[in-house]
Chain A
Amino acid sequence: MPLPTSKNKPTHNWQFEAIGTQWSIETARALDVDERTAISELIDSFDRTYSRFRDDSLVSSMATKAGVYAFPGDALQLIGFYRELYRATNGAVSPLVGQLLSEAGYDKTYSLQPGQISKVPAWDEVMQWDDLTVEMSRPALLDFGAAGKGYLADLVGELLERSGYEQYVVDASGDIRTRGITEVVGLENPFDASTVIGAVPLRDASLCASATNRRTWGDWHHIVDPKRRLPMRSIVATWVMASSTMVADGLATALFFVPAKELSGWEFQYVRLHANGMIERSEDFVGELYI
């Protein structure tokens, strides 16, 4: 069955760089100054809470001393999802890998120089969550890279909807949320970025990709196993479609560590590319693969 072509393509495209990557927001009418300001403020506020790359963030202060820290209201959904992911992956997807990533060289200054890698603590060992507050028994550097960007794409999309946009695409460099239109999204081949391994129509849903061909330095990349304290090598790329961008983003990371059957608590379609070039996909995957 041929793929549909993109319909009702929004004509206005706002592109900018934020939280360390490229963003693109497409809408049927141009976003006005107030709307752009609101989106920028939302992203900046998210960054000031969750970014381990800036000194003035909440996450950075949690890495300096033990104590009780209060998160903003929208954190509840994200933290709850991280807790479920942590359980489903037997601790492999954990916000506590922040210290490991930093020690491996993916730090505030992008030193990219691996040093001594310390043990990653267990969730309950350092964090006691109560609603929006967390008691840190000792300082720890959290990283929300697994699902944070997807969650932010959801927040941006919801803001657009509140402003009356019924047709839009939010593309946070691979974390894509569409409403009211069909986008045909190519699945980038991590072995050769000038090719795609497949394509999938996306409408009123989100698609997130995770791959190890960028954010790579020396022997390291950014998807790391907290138990072995090494980057994952057997999977090189994953794509997940779900109704929520946060869920698609987090599951795309989780599929580096566990097979899809371990994630049966969520509704999603997926494609998983193994290091030997083998492709695995869910039975209900609606796109096509070039195999």
Chain B
Amino acid sequence: MDSSHSPNKAVIGVIVIALLAIAATAAIVLGQNNTSKDTNVSDTASASVSPQASTTTQPTNAPTNFKSGTYNATGSYQTPGGLESIAVSVTLGGDGTITDATVTPEGKTGEAQEYQDKFVSGFKSQVVGKKIGEVQLSRVAGSSLTSGGFNDAIADIEKQANA
């Protein structure tokens, strides 16, 4: 129906990947500096990235020297509505695996906030639907049917456009 926002979603996805990569990198650095520390210590690293930076920070080599804990990073990206940011928190387990990751929206304007919320809620369902005849229904609820006046006006405009 509307495809104008898919770049936005792609941007958020790219940022999150970048942030996960940076959080993991930060974990390695911190881990190297504190090799004697116990596990389950929470440390914080901050990172600010642009979407372009992400292409150079792919976690290609699996890091072996982790320190477990929670790492936070913030990224920002440009939208037509201004600069938006998103925060990522990654928890690393003792064996270096990511045991938890959360994304927190910091959207300031209108639909950016909406998109980030959508990402955060992380719902996994995708609409499939069933033919109306396949389900025993009393009635269907969707957008209101439009009156004759509105439909006539639409038909008129289409006619003019095709003239």
Q: Is the CB of A21 within 8 A of B144?
A: yes
What residue of chain A has the Cβ atom nearest to residue B135's Cβ? A199
Q: Is the CB of B143 within 8 A of A196?
A: no
A79 contacts partner chain B, Cβ-Cβ < 8 Å = no
Q: Is the CB of A215 within 8 A of B143?
A: yes
Distance in Å from the Cβ of A277 to the closest Cβ of chain B?
5
A-B contact count (CB 8 A): 176
A234 contacts partner chain B, Cβ-Cβ < 8 Å = yes
Q: Is the CB of B141 within 8 A of A291?
A: no
When chains A and B are docked, how far (Å) is the Cα of A172 from the Cα of B126?
Answer: 29
CB within 8 A of B129: which of A9, A197, A225? A197
B147 contacts partner chain A, Cβ-Cβ < 8 Å = yes
B101 contacts partner chain A, Cβ-Cβ < 8 Å = no
A211 contacts partner chain B, Cβ-Cβ < 8 Å = yes
Distance in Å from the Cβ of A133 to the closest Cβ of chain B?
31
CB within 8 A of B147: which of A3, A17, A233? A17
When chains A and B are docked, how far (Å) is the Cα of A149 from the Cα of B5?
Answer: 31
A164 contacts partner chain B, Cβ-Cβ < 8 Å = no
Distance in Å from the Cβ of A80 to the closest Cβ of chain B?
24
> Given A22-B145, A213-B143, A214-B145, are A184 and B132 neighbors across the interface (CB < 8 Å)?
no
Distance in Å from the Cβ of B159 to the closest Cβ of chain A?
13
Q: Is the CB of A187 within 8 A of B141?
A: yes
Distance in Å from the Cβ of A222 to the closest Cβ of chain B?
9
Tell me the residues in window 184-202 of chain A with beta carbons closer than 8 Å to chain B beta carbons: 184-197, 199
A interface bracket (residues with beta carbon within 8 Å of B): 35 or more
Distance in Å from the Cβ of A9 to the closest Cβ of chain B?
7
Q: Is the CB of A188 within 8 A of B121?
A: no
What residue of chain B has the Cβ atom nearest to residue A233's Cβ? B2
Tell me the residues in window 102-154 of chain B with beta carbons closer than 8 Å to chain A beta carbons: 110-111, 114-115, 117-118, 121, 123, 125-132, 135-150, 152-154
Q: Is the CB of B123 within 8 A of A278?
A: yes
Q: Is the CB of B123 within 8 A of A186?
A: no
When chains A and B are docked, how far (Å) is the Cα of A269 from the Cα of B6?
Answer: 28
When chains A and B are docked, how far (Å) is the Cα of A188 from the Cα of B146?
Answer: 15
B residues less than 8 Å from A171 (CB atoms): 139
Q: Is the CB of A190 within 8 A of B1?
A: yes
CB within 8 A of A185: which of B137, B143, B153? B137
| Stretch of A36-44, A119-127, A235-243 on the interface side | A235-243
Q: Is the CB of A196 within 8 A of B140?
A: yes
CB within 8 A of B150: which of A6, A189, A215? A215
When chains A and B are docked, how far (Å) is the Cα of A244 from the Cα of B38?
Answer: 57
A residues less than 8 Å from B61 (CB atoms): none
> Given A183-B139, A186-B139, A274-B118, are A236 and B144 neighbors across the interface (CB < 8 Å)?
no
Q: Is the CB of A214 within 8 A of B141?
A: no
What residue of chain A has the Cβ atom nearest to residue B131's Cβ? A195
When chains A and B are docked, how far (Å) is the Cα of A233 from the Cα of B114?
Answer: 10
B4 contacts partner chain A, Cβ-Cβ < 8 Å = yes
Q: Is the CB of A278 within 8 A of B143?
A: no
CB within 8 A of B111: which of A21, A189, A232, A291? A232
What residue of chain A has the Cβ atom nearest to residue B137's Cβ? A186
B29 contacts partner chain A, Cβ-Cβ < 8 Å = no
What residue of chain B has the Cβ atom nearest to residue A195's Cβ? B129
Q: Is the CB of B138 within 8 A of A289?
A: no
Q: Is the CB of B136 within 8 A of A188?
A: no
Distance in Å from the Cβ of A282 to the closest Cβ of chain B?
12
Q: Is the CB of A234 within 8 A of B5?
A: yes
